[in-house]
Amino acid sequence: KTYEVEHEAFDRQLKRFVGRKLLITGSDAFGLPRPIDDQVLVGMKALTCESGFTSKRVHFSRYHLCKAIGWQVSGRSYERLEESLDRIAGTTLKFRDAWWDKGEQEWKTKTFHLIETVELCSRDRFDRARLKSKQKSHQLCSFVWSEDVWKSFTDGYIKSLDMEMFRRIGKGRRREVPLRLYRVLDKRLYKKQIAKFNLEKLCIGTLGLSPKYCPSEMTRILERAAKWLIECGYIHEFHVQPNRKTRELEAIFRRSTVSKAIAPTPKAAPKVENGLLTKYYNLPPARRTELLSRATAYCKTNAPGVVDGYERNLEGDAKRGYLDMLLRTYLKSKKQKAAA
């Protein structure tokens, strides 16, 4: 019911190596989180992003969440979702000098749950709502992020993820290790073409493999996962070799193309899927100022979390992400008002 992860990291302020620990405790009824819960968490973050990060309570339907993850929509998938959400809600995380508070720029010791509450809609309630509204689709389920996780989101300590690639990788057999490896590499290959890891720390501390595995077994599992990422077109090359100085084994990954996440030059319009920011930057300066002013005024009343995030001292993708949410929230309200 308890799992502990420990890392040794170099503290730039103290100028020495320090230990950072994470204690994961599951509930009696549901147990520890499983690899499948990683996928559900990614889907929950994706739905929160779709809602514009306007509230820590996110409404959803099982159908919508399954589609976001890339699962087949079926009764069995709905059961897996419910089991996973129960485990996530029942898990306690204790960070010992290992929780990074981006807003205050310091490591903290904290104990909390990822989500405060989760509400799932029963079949009877869904049927009653459908008969009442005469509509086939409803978002009657919801979850509420915990205060610490939500603060991390509003501080801008979250990175976008290519969900199309995530779903593509998730369709393979034995997908747990490739999916977790993809999330690790997506962060490390953010602005780089090559990422190097200590083989043992990557496999045991990060990917969650058994510490009983020998280096050859770790290499075999990692090769299988990397091969699938290569087939999916995410990375181009993978190999394991001894470090020249320490002689410890290193896992080396090379990305297939230049990362799309690299921030463009200041004069270039940011590349976003819906082109909203591109259209915004193509407006005349006076029009941009007016639009931003109206969007900020509207969101201060209706989505204060977005305004707080935008006005923080952020740069690059985080700043543009909040600008996108600010504009999207305001423009969505205008469309709803026009439709009414």
DSSP string covering 8-40, please? EEEETTTTEEEEEEEEEE-BTTTBS--HHHHHH
Confidence (pTM): 0.71
Could you read off the pLDDT of 210-253 as tens digits, one per residue? 889 999 999 999 999 999 999 999 999 999 999 888 889 999 99
Q: Is the pLDDT of residue 266 over 50?
A: no
How much is the pLDDT for 312? 65
Instruction: Compare 233 and 299 and report the one with higher pLDDT.
Output: 233
Q: Give the sheet arrangement for strand 106-112, strand by strand.
A: 2-11, 16-25, 92-101, 106-112
How much is the pLDDT for 136? 57
Residue 267's pLDDT band, with cuts at 50, 70 and 90, is very low
Could you read off the pLDDT of 100-114 as tens digits, one per residue? 998 898 999 999 999
Residue 332's pLDDT band, with cuts at 50, 70 and 90, is confident
Residue 41's pLDDT band, with cuts at 50, 70 and 90, is very high
Percent of the chain with pLDDT over 70: 88
Once rounded to an integer, what is the mean pLDDT over residues 243-268?
67
Mean pLDDT of the chain: 85
Ramachandran angles phi, psi of 16, nearest 5°: -160, 165
Determine contact, residues 9/18, Cβ cutoff 8 Å.
Answer: yes
Q: Identify the CA nearest to 95 among candidates 205, 4, 208, 188.
A: 4
Determine contact, residues 40/79, Cβ cutoff 8 Å.
Answer: no
Please state whether 14 falls in left (phi above 0), alpha (psi between -120 and 50) or beta: alpha
Q: Which of 46-60, 118-132, 187-201 has the lowest mean pLDDT?
A: 118-132
Three-state secondary-structure class, residue 261:
coil
How much is the pLDDT for 270? 39
How much is the pLDDT for 281? 82
Q: Is the pLDDT of residue 260 over 90?
A: no
CA distance 68 to 139: 14
Q: Identify the CA nearest to 86 among candidates 145, 44, 26.
A: 26
Could you read off the pLDDT of 273-289 as tens digits, one per residue? 447 888 888 888 888 88
